[in-house]
Structure 1
Amino acid sequence: MARAPLRVGEMRTVSYTEEVFGVRARCRTRDAGGRLRPPSFAASTADAALAGLTAQVLALAMEPPWSSEDLTISDAIRLWLDDRSGDVRPQTLRGYQSTGRWLSRLVGAVPLAEAQQPARVKCMLAAVESSRGTAALDTARSALSGALGTAVEQGLLERNLVRELRRRKRTARTPSVLSLEQIFVLRALIHAQEQRSARFVGSSAFVLGWVVEVMLGSGLRINEVLALRNIDIDWRARAVSVTGTLINDSQRGLVRQESLKSREQARRIRLPDFAIRALDDARRCRSQRQEEPPHNPAIQGRVPGAWCHARNVCRTLRRIREDPVFVDQLATTGLRVEDVTPHIFRRTAATLIAMHSGDLRDAQHLLGHSDQRTTMRHYAGAPFRTVATATVLDELIGGLPYLPSDETYTLKAGT
């Protein structure tokens, strides 16, 4: 009777050979292209050699080396991270990896097959919220959805239940922004603190003030401000070109990334006078030379020609927030100290622009958002629409007699 033909991925005639450093396993198989192949694998023991040989055969057959019964949520997260590697920017991948680590510690041992049970998925999300808070819940949902989505693509699951589960409706918190009075108080306090520090640290004491002025005048993120170079500033047009941001690379340290989150975010912004003055002050403080290398930072700290780290700016801001004078004066404006973060200056710029124009699209373009809903949800910190119906209603209703509430009128039929 003729032997059955060798199938793709089948291991036939497995044999073992003793070698100097262990055991080598061999077999015959057929790869995904239909060719006969003789893979082999050497290891310290026969079991390890067989496991390595099996992995080789599965790779030749283009079959995944796992089944859904063997995998856990942690395995699915690892598959998702491997899938996203190379498709997203390094700093984005590091954020995913950080989320994956703490999420795996919470729910990583749950069998992947149980992710097909809605109640099980809801319990996992509830555990995240109870242990890490509401903000972490949104991050966990995104990571878990990515992991289960990758499992669906690999044929390990049929459905991604995270996408199907209803989100619990939460009351949206109005983003905090600065009023004009609060801007005035904050500017004065920062200036006073910088004047005191300048005696000890020199011109680097003014970095926070420069960054705040440019953020208020442009709506840029702090790392976009610190990534501005001399070549990005058009002094004649009083504008800046926003084409990159600072990132903390794991190998190169603090470097300028020559692109933004998306290509659409690259933009040119006309700056108000106060922001231009801040950049001019930074230019005059960092060098007495008439010309500087065009690719040098526009705002520099203590080290000439080096990028200024955002965490140093944030550290200075935290020190100012702890000043009792700052706390007392800010309290008079109704703003909480904990709300004063670098991002509040970006939100303030966007909100003031939207309030002035009455059109959220102006703020959206300033911030570089591709989706207007992002601008509305996270940056519109005050009512901004002026509903222009007064003229129409005045024409329709204004000619009718006004009836004071303290008088009684008898409306006759036909009148």
Structure 2
Amino acid sequence: MARQRLTIATFGEIGYLSGPNDRVVARARYRDWDGKNRLVQATGDTRKQAERALKAKLADRSLFQPTVSDLSPDSPFPDLVTYWLEDLELEGRISKRTLQLYERNMQTLVLPVFEGLTLREIGVARCDHFLKQLAKQSYNRAKQARVVLRLALGLAVRHEVLPRNPMDHVSRMRRPASTPNALTPAEVNAVRAAIAYWEAGCSYSGPRPDGQLGAIIEVMLGTSARIGEVLAIRRRDIDVTRATPSIRISGTIVSHRGEPTTRQDHPKTAKSRRTVAIPSFTAEAVRRRLTRLEDTSLDALLFCSREGTPLTTNNVRRQLRHVLDLAGITGITPHMFRRTVATAINEQGGVELAAELLGHTDPKITIQHYIRRNEMVNPATAAMLDRVFSKDE
């Protein structure tokens, strides 16, 4: 067969020539990812078949620079997940606890739906549908899934495996309306009474009370600190000798899977590191606890096991739930005390002071997640209406 030529704008000039067994060979020069022209060819029984085979081969060639990950648009999604988790660990920018949380959310929420797909099959519509279906079950689970899916696909875009991140175009998630739940002073005193009754041995059940649970609650109420931050307080962080006693919040307790529970030398965020003046009821509980500490070193934890090791946040939560269940009190978690403190300070001193005490960088976070709305309208409105609409005598 005589050589024929046909100009195709996308691929340049395609040439045809006879091949073995009278098959047609179509070939063209292709400008590859590195800027070099390479000869690509394909065969077919007819010129049209050879041309289609050549175009398919050219379309399958990567338009992007290859990466060390060996990922391509046709790679299975689980391969990207494995590479993404390894990349996060190598970067070292997030804590080990956050890394474990990402891995858990990916394994339990995303992979069951996406594990059979290749990367090129994951588009905007599929991601959007997935998040909406998950949000029907739980907004928080959908939010967690959105975070890890966006991060993993974002890595594929950065490494030029995908041209765009489909998560950039999914519908915005709408958080269900909710009101932060905080305790009233009466409810706080009921919790105190239940713990005191249990610690006095009047309702003995489980391990013998060591007097720490009640003091932990008083410190949370007096500092607004998270449970992990309270359990990380050391002797050196406490000053109860001055006229205004204080506690410095400078760390938190972390429990990594397969590793012993340890004290981390910084709290959740940079602004969370702060010194808090404590009320008299907290100072009293701290003084009592200090007298019971056998370890006199400055790095001794205020709350610890009998061996001096850190308490785990899960064990304290479990113990609090157990004690309150015995008293018929349900639905109270350690974090609720943080919201209770925020609500009280907001009512007494305003949201700016509440945000500062909680260590928030933005008061909007305090308002949205920590302050219980006061439904009582200012009673001054009643006097105003009386002046305007009172009945004539």
Query: Normalization by structure 2: what TM-score?
Result: 0.74
Q: Which moved more, 1:77-86 or 1:191-200?
A: 191-200
Aligned-residue offset at 1:342: 0.8
Structure 2 equivalent of residue 350 of structure 1: 342
Could you say what secondary structure the match of 2:163 adopts? coil
How far apart, in 2, do the equivalents of 1:126 and 1:199 lie? 48
Q: Is the 8 A contact 2:234 2:300 kept in 1?
A: yes
Q: CA distance change for structure 1 residues 171 and 262 in 2, over 3 Å: closer, same or farther?
A: closer
Task: Trace 1:3-402 onto structure 2 (pairs within 5 A).
Answer: 63-72=68-77, 74-85=78-89, 86-102=92-108, 103-116=110-123, 118-129=124-135, 133-196=138-201, 204-237=209-242, 238-250=245-257, 252-287=259-294, 292-301=296-305, 303-323=306-326, 326-327=327-328, 330=329, 337-338=330-331, 340-358=332-350, 360-383=351-374, 402=388
CA distance in 2 between partners of 1:267 and 1:366 (Å): 8
CA distance in 2, matches of 1:373, 1:383: 17
Give the distance between the partners of 1:63 and 1:353, measured in 2 at CA: 54
Q: CA deviation at 1:220?
A: 0.4
RMSD: 3.2
Matched residue of 2:348: which SS? helix
Conserved? CA contact 1:203–1:286, under 8 Å: no
Contact 1:279 1:299 survives alignment (8 Å): no
Alpha-carbon distance in structure 1 between the residues aligned to 2:323 and 2:192:
11
CA offsets 1:175-229 (integer angstroms, 9 cap, x no match): 1100011111111111101111798989853221111110011010111001000
Alpha-carbon distance in structure 2 between the residues aligned to 1:383 and 1:150:
45
1:324-381, Cα deviation, whole Å (9 max, x unpaired): xx22xx5xxxxxx22x0111011111111111112x1212121112233322221112
Query: Alignment partner of 2:276: what SS?
Result: strand
The amino acid across from 1:375 in the alignment is T
Query: Does the residue aligned with 2:122 lie in a helix, a strand or coil?
Result: helix
Conserved? CA contact 1:351–1:384, under 8 Å: no
Relative distance call for 1:401 and 1:193 in structure 2 (3 A) is: closer
- d(CA) in 2 for partners of 1:286, 1:100: 43
- Scaled by the length of structure 1, the TM-score of the pair is 0.70
Number of residue pairs the alignment of both structures matches: 324
Amino acid at match of 1:79: Y
The residue matched to 1:93 in structure 2 has which SS? helix
Q: Distance in 1 between matches of 2:344 and 2:148?
A: 34
Structure 2 gaps, min length 5: 1-33, 35-65
| Separation (CA, whole Å) in 1 of partners of 2:290 and 2:94 | 35
Deviations 1:249-278 (A, max 9, x none): 346401111112332221111111111111
**Paired letter, 1:111:** T
Q: 1:273 to 1:240 in 2, by over 3 A?
A: same
**What SS class does the counterpart of residue 256 from structure 1 fall into?**
strand
**3-state SS of the aligned residue for 2:211?**
helix
Q: Percent identity?
A: 28
Range moving further from structure 2, 94-103 or 366-375: 366-375
Contact 1:354/1:384 (CA < 8 Å) preserved in 2? no
Q: CA deviation at 1:65?
A: 1.3
